[in-house]
Amino acid sequence: MKDKIKLNIRGGGGIFSKIMLAIQNIAKFEYELKNCYLNIADNRALSPEGISPLDSIIDQTYDDRYASVDCKLLGTYNNRNRVEKSIEYEKLKHIASQLKYKSELSVLVDDYVHLLGIKDKTIGVHVRLCDMNIIHGADYGVLAFNNYLEAIQEELKSNNANIFVACDNEESILKLKVIFGDRISYVPNLIRAKTETEDSFTLQLDNFRSTKFWQEAFLEMLLLSKCSTLICRTSNVANMAIISSNNIKKITML
């Protein structure tokens, strides 16, 4: 086993596909996270200077003692192969718990937990419609706003709590606000698609080199991890929230 690893992450489409891939590799090959530098090696995500936006998220440093190792593709977790039911779940969870986030991100998460009133019984909802329907619908099904609405209404029958929404589009948030009013909370003014049918993959690629985009993604993921119930579909945002959480007790997978 190499002592110092620069773990090169090329596979995986989005931010959390890459992060989950790295964590899976650390678990499978029994690397020590403290000895790993998570290196985004996808040129689409690097700044013109070659700097990875992940360096603004995770407290990590690199020097030339690190041996370069490429992440291997190890499959993905989905609604048929759920991360919380996998045999490596506890390993993944342990690794996620060791991630050291930059202090400014940790402070921002704590501030929003207080501002949005995220508490022990808060229902976390990850609405993802745009690119999942357009690109991955054949594999994981096509969902609509009403699928999320029905799941929320069902949960509210036994859990009279507030609802935090992490969402890929503004249209769904506005519709939820109309239906549930002040019970709905979310982080405003993030980089999101405007409508439920917009191809948000193009939006992601346009912002993939943006530190702000990565920080916003991790902020929403970590806020979901603070909730006690999670309503979601197949998504590595949800997978990462699940393995990062000590609070989530119930998961409704659509």
| Cα distance between residue 127 and residue 76, in whole Å | 19
Question: Where do we find the tokens 């998504």?
Answer: 235
| Cα distance between residue 155 and residue 227, in whole Å | 13
- The answer to whether 253 and 233 have CB atoms below 8 angstroms apart is yes
**Same domain membership, residue 215 and residue 136:** yes
Mean of the per-residue pLDDT values for the chain?
A: 94
> What is the domain range of residue 202?
103-253
Among 98, 113, 136, residue at a domain's last position: 98
Could you report the per-residue pLDDT of 50-105, keeping only the tens digit for each?
A: 888 999 999 998 888 899 999 999 999 999 999 999 999 999 999 999 999 999 99
| Cα distance between residue 248 and residue 118, in whole Å | 12
Percent of the chain clearing pLDDT 70 (strictly above): 99
Helix (H, G, I), strand (E, B) or coil at 9: strand
**Same domain membership, residue 130 and residue 248:** yes
**Same domain membership, residue 120 and residue 90:** no
**Same domain membership, residue 78 and residue 158:** no
Cα–Cα distances in angstroms (integers) from residue 94 to residues 25, 36, 86, 124, in the given order: 13, 15, 14, 22
- The answer to whether 18 and 178 have CB atoms below 8 angstroms apart is no
| Cα distance between residue 22 and residue 169, in whole Å | 27
pLDDT of residue 62: 87
- 220 or 65, higher pLDDT: 220
Beta-bridge partner residues of 58? 101
Residue type, 7: L
Nearest to 209 by CA among 46, 17, 1, 32: 46
- The answer to whether 164 and 115 have CB atoms below 8 angstroms apart is no
**What secondary structure letter does DSSP report for 158?**
T
Exposed/middle/buried for residue 7 (C-beta within 10 Å: 0-12, 13-18, 19+)? buried
pLDDT of residue 226: 98
Nearest to 224 by CA among 252, 198, 192: 252
Does 1 score more than 60 pLDDT? no
Among 82, 98, 114, residue at a domain's last position: 98
Could you report the per-residue pLDDT of 182-202, keeping only the tens digit for each?
A: 999 999 999 999 999 998 888
Our count of domains for the chain comes to 2
CATH code at 135? Answer: 3.40.50.11350
Could you report the per-residue pLDDT of 133-180, keeping only the tens digit for each?
A: 888 877 788 999 999 999 999 999 999 999 999 999 999 999 999 999
> What integer is the mean pLDDT of 6-31?
94
Beta-bridge partner residues of 84? none
**Same domain membership, residue 112 and residue 91:** no
Does 2 score more than 70 pLDDT? no
CB atoms within 10 A of CB 81: 11
Sheet order of strands, 123-127 included: 184-185, 163-167, 123-127, 229-232, 250-253
pLDDT of residue 165: 98
Backbone angles phi, psi at 207, to 5 degrees: -115, 10
**Same domain membership, residue 15 and residue 73:** yes
pLDDT of residue 48: 78
> What integer is the mean pLDDT of 214-237?
97
Does 222 score more than 90 pLDDT? yes
